[in-house]
Structure 1
């Protein structure tokens, strides 16, 4: 990424967002949320040096959505022209172990998105992007428990794209 690349991420309240320990959340999850929050802050303030410190040099990337919506990839890599009119607006940040989920929409509220970041030892090593897709996160348990209950425990579901008119995906922890 070149230092002249301009980041265009916007947030309603990200500047004042302080991740705190929530009920059931451990210290690792709080640190991982803080790392991802720092990434969005660095993107908002165009701090390329901090972005480089937070992302692994070889970030594993997975994308689900129309190719025209690869905004984060364009933003972070500069590989193709980034559309400066697209602005990320994060609404919620939640952690489950090493995975941190950020849900939001573009500033026009026409495109919903979910970013699923994996944080390892304070460095972001993976991102999964979902655009205009309903995402449900489940926690897989032992095969014995699954056979007794018949399903997996759902721990999180996207709220912005759950209107039934978008594809739905399940992400297993």
Structure 2
């Protein structure tokens, strides 16, 4: 019963975190900088992986550019514990993944990845982890009891391939 209650609480947190990130993208589309700022921790930690000229979200969140210069239209939003993974693409030119970490309803960390095919791995050893996973494990790899938690799925209409990257978050 205790395990079930913990899983329910974890699912509620995931639903709330996903909703917060959805609100963020809606506020960005409206140009509502006050709402965007209210969702971000004042000490937001930022990571960027990709070509330097593709740091679009940082420019938008810091006011260096407007949202219209590069539109982030999420195609997929997945919540895993305190993280929300968002992927999308801008035509056939830019494929991106955002990983937002939340704590107490605020976004505390942001990781931005451009033009990559991502796989998120659970690197915890099953015997060491006392926490029950609430997401579906899609693939089990024998070495180190590693599980694929989430893998990006580029649109079928895209004809070019993206480099592979394994991301441990």
TM-score, normalised with respect to structure 2: 0.76
Number of the residue aligned with 1:103: 87
Listed as ranges, the gaps of 5+ residues in structure 2 are 1-9, 129-139
Structure 1 residues 78-115: Cα deviation after superposition (integer angstroms, max 9, x where no partner): 24x45844211210100110010000011x23210000
Q: How many equivalent pairs are there?
A: 148
- RMSD, matched Cα: 2.8
Secondary structure of the corresponding residue to residue 159 of structure 1: coil
Listed as ranges, the gaps of 5+ residues in structure 1 are 1-24
Q: CA deviation at 1:150?
A: 4.1
Of Structure 1 and Structure 2, the greater helix share is in 2
Number of the residue aligned with 2:152: 158
Q: Does 1:31 align with 2:16?
A: yes
Number of the residue aligned with 1:14: none
Secondary structure of the corresponding residue to residue 29 of structure 1: helix
Number of the residue aligned with 1:87: 71
Q: How does 1:42-57 map to 2 (within 5 A)?
A: 42-57=27-42
TM-score, normalised with respect to structure 1: 0.75
Q: CA deviation at 1:172?
A: 2.0
Residues 1:57 and 1:70: Cα distance change in structure 2 (over 3 Å): same
Residues 1:104 and 1:64: Cα distance change in structure 2 (over 3 Å): same
Residues 1:151 and 1:71: Cα distance change in structure 2 (over 3 Å): same
Q: How does 1:162-173 map to 2 (within 5 A)?
A: 165-173=161-169
Q: How does 1:55-74 map to 2 (within 5 A)?
A: 55-74=40-59
Tell whether the 8 Å contact from 1:92 to 1:102 is kept in structure 2 after alignment.
yes
Number of the residue aligned with 2:102: 119
